[in-house]
Structure 1
Amino acid sequence: MHVQLAGSAGYVDDAVDALSSGSVYVSREVDGSTALADQLQAQVGDASIGIAVFSDNAALEASGPDIVSELADRTGFDTIIVAVGDDLSAGSRVLESGEAMRIANQAESAGGTLEESLSQTVQTIVQESAPAPAETGGGAGGVVIALAIAAAVVVAGVIAAIAAVRARRARTRRSQTGQELPDSVRGPVDALRALSGEYAALGGAGNQTAAETAREIDAITANAAQLFARLAEKGAEDQFQLAEIEYGDKLGKLSAALDRRYLLDILVNPHLWDDPDERVVEVRDAVDAVSEQLVDNIKQVNARRGLHFQVSLDTLSGRRKELRDWDREFRRADGAGELPSA
């Protein structure tokens, strides 16, 4: 049986060690850890899914999305699912970008127990990851398969309906996916998700900076979804609006800086740019700053403290006229309007 329970090492390192020889890691700090580990292992089967379940204490070491990224880098699983307390995070190399996190968010929004949320997440990801079945002949076997599929569809429909009803009760503005990105933030996040694939492709060709940037973009988009989902769940309307203003602006600027016409082109054609190394450092510093602020804001929401914003990207776009111009173009295309003139 590929099950490991936590030892006494650091949370993330302990999970990495356990997942090097198994598929499921459950901290002994989690109630019913042995039974939960057995249940999850039975559901995972032979699928390339690594699961790590922590108590709330693990949040002192890293956020859920950060743990997902680290486990993905340090283990060989196609998909990683992480629970820190009752908060679920997930990432996958075989599903579309953001799909695993969407599945985890939807399961969490259903409002069940941790075991139920994890179970629903695992089952849905296993189904989404499975290859399409080959066509078979008719007869009794075909009838059985058809009935099984019909039953699965009914169950999935019931689960989705329950999740949607509970989510609407939690907040009327919540979308059916369980994510709560406002329109002004969704545009930049979608743009960043698209760029992540391009950076990952360049990274696969041997560009280490591009590979690191792809991982950082994935962390930012995942944490942005986490931040707004948690704000919506807690009904913090004023904080939600502040975050919408903050990240509509910051992620828009970041999208312009990471655009294929700027940083991506600099990485591909550094000889065609003035001060290419300096430009790369400027953008990477901005990415790090926004990523750190998102994590800090999530921690503030969890602790029910007011959001605190310290990052300014004005220097980034102010020093480079082309970035300021592209930022304006992005906002016009996204319907966010012009920025004030410098």
Structure 2
Amino acid sequence: MPVPPIPLSANGYVDDAAAALQGSNVYVSNEVGNASTLAQQLDQQVGDASIGVAVFSENAGLEGSASDIVSELAAANPGYDTIIVAVGDDVAAGSRTLQAGEALRIANESEQASDSVDAALTQTVQQIIAVTPQAEQGGVDAGPVVGIAVAVALLVGAGIAVVGAVRARRRRAAADRGLPDAVRAQVATLRGLVPEYAAVGASGDAVAARAAQEIAILADNVTELFNRLDRRSAADQVDIAAVEYDDKLRKLTAALNRDYLLDVLRHPNLWDDPDDRVREVQGALDGVSTELVENIKQVNARRGLHFQVSLDGLIGRRKELQDWDRAFDQASEDGTPPPSAPRR
């Protein structure tokens, strides 16, 4: 039976969930609507599977993305084969028994196919149970004993690495709290996309692997820029940078999000001109990344910030063609001569 939702303590969202999962497979924050009912539903779905589920409100995003929290809970609760996390309507998962990125793929597809986070979580649990291999049965001999010993040693080493990564994520989360609200939301979105691009990259997609690294660096540099501005008490420059980067990061995250570039990389056969689309977004990512570094240098030199990168043309020449198509359709309806097509 699931334990009742636990009131938030001074430890924070992730610490509360980590403690709760030691006694129950399911944790649902009190900030989530119908927490008790959802906890019972998920507990029934999990059954005796080695799955831990944690459900948070959007506020937990201050401590990290859903994927970040998956890693933290997995490190804190190594007894689970799989961890599933929802932060607001963002669902992520990680598994020790499935292929790298498989649990996250299932969570993402369930999220996209469902009309509520409750349904997405239920579908994620069901599908992960369905694809998780059953433990092999065998006699006790020296082979398995040696294998287990080696596995334990590897897990200990991996655990040290995970703890280091978790601490680094917590430091980043603390630094991100100092960002202007609008910018912080975009940075949280970017950080949440990093493991998804990395998962696609792990399947052999070099573009996705590179994008994962560049998005992570971009998010760190946004935080670095505003931290340096804040330390220099440059309030007017903070306001200017907040307006500028709110606009740019909104456009960039929209292009990088699951329903555009990530989908183009996963399903290039379903898109027109996939290579052009990839180049356009990659160019925008490179442009914003370069400008961020230049802005940080300007802050270090105590110069005013200068912004030169525009993302208005992010969708490139296709926008010109789309505008022409709309004008052509309008002319056809009005009975006026259609405009000349733009040069290619």
TM-score by length of 1: 0.46
**Structure with greater Cα Rg:** 2
